[in-house]
Amino acid sequence: MKPLKSLLPIPGDNLLLADTEKPALNRVRASRTRRRLHAVLLVLLVLAACASLAAGGIADPGNLDLLLTVAFLGLLGPVLYLITRLNQITRMSLPYRLLDERQRGDRDDAHRFGQHMTSAMLGSSFVLSALNKIVFSPGGADFPGWLVLPLLWSLVMAHTTTPALYLAWTQPDELPEEEPVA
């Protein structure tokens, strides 16, 4: 039986592995506390960006609105950096073929958890929107426009980061490799 083409090594695999197995990343990867610190920091930055989007939607056009937009853009860089770093720490940036069986199972579990989380967020958003329409339809209340961007931001961030956050939170501490006894 021939192996799947997607699981065969390709020339750039050694570079990907070398990029992911850097000493600084290995130190963070080995400690559950450090991984969780990265995860909490990412969640806090995403929530701060969400709050700046919501406040920008409520604020009157002018200096405050511009300041909140700049705050969001200023938070975007650290958020993207932490997403990339967390993906490297949890090995989410590696292709499936470079993972061992345990890592593949962990990644599948993380993607499944992320799918359930995103589905729950989308479902609750739909139910809340429907309730808003049913309860307030006699008064003609509409969905608040200032809530659209924060809701979309939180959905996109939940969809893209939940698997890496799940792995960072649930993986145990890695045991140090033992030196061979001579």
How is residue 144 annotated by DSSP? -
Question: Does a structural domain hold residue 32?
Answer: yes
pLDDT at res. 140: 58
Question: Does a structural domain hold residue 94?
Answer: yes
Q: Are 41 and 82 in contact (CB under 8 A)?
A: yes
> Residue 94's CB: how many other CB atoms inside 10 A?
19
Domain range enclosing 86: 19-170
The pLDDT profile of the chain, 182 residues, written as one tens digit per residue, is 565 556 666 777 777 777 777 888 888 888 899 999 999 999 999 999 999 988 887 777 777 778 888 899 999 999 999 999 999 999 998 888 888 899 999 999 999 999 999 999 999 988 988 887 777 766 656 667 788 889 999 999 999 999 999 999 999 887 766 655 55
What predicted TM-score, i.e. pTM, was given to this entire model? 0.80
Q: Are 107 and 17 in contact (CB under 8 A)?
A: no
pLDDT at res. 101: 93
pLDDT at res. 138: 62
Question: Does a structural domain hold residue 23?
Answer: yes
Question: Does a structural domain hold residue 4?
Answer: no
pLDDT at res. 2: 61
Question: Does a structural domain hold residue 64?
Answer: yes
Question: Does a structural domain hold residue 182?
Answer: no
Q: Are 50 and 43 in contact (CB under 8 A)?
A: no
Task: Domain count for the chain, please give it.
Answer: 1
Q: Are 97 and 6 in contact (CB under 8 A)?
A: yes
Among 89, 108, 78, smallest CA distance to 24 is for: 89
Q: How far apart are CA 44 and CA 40, in angstroms?
A: 6
Question: Does a structural domain hold residue 1?
Answer: no
Question: Does a structural domain hold residue 3?
Answer: no
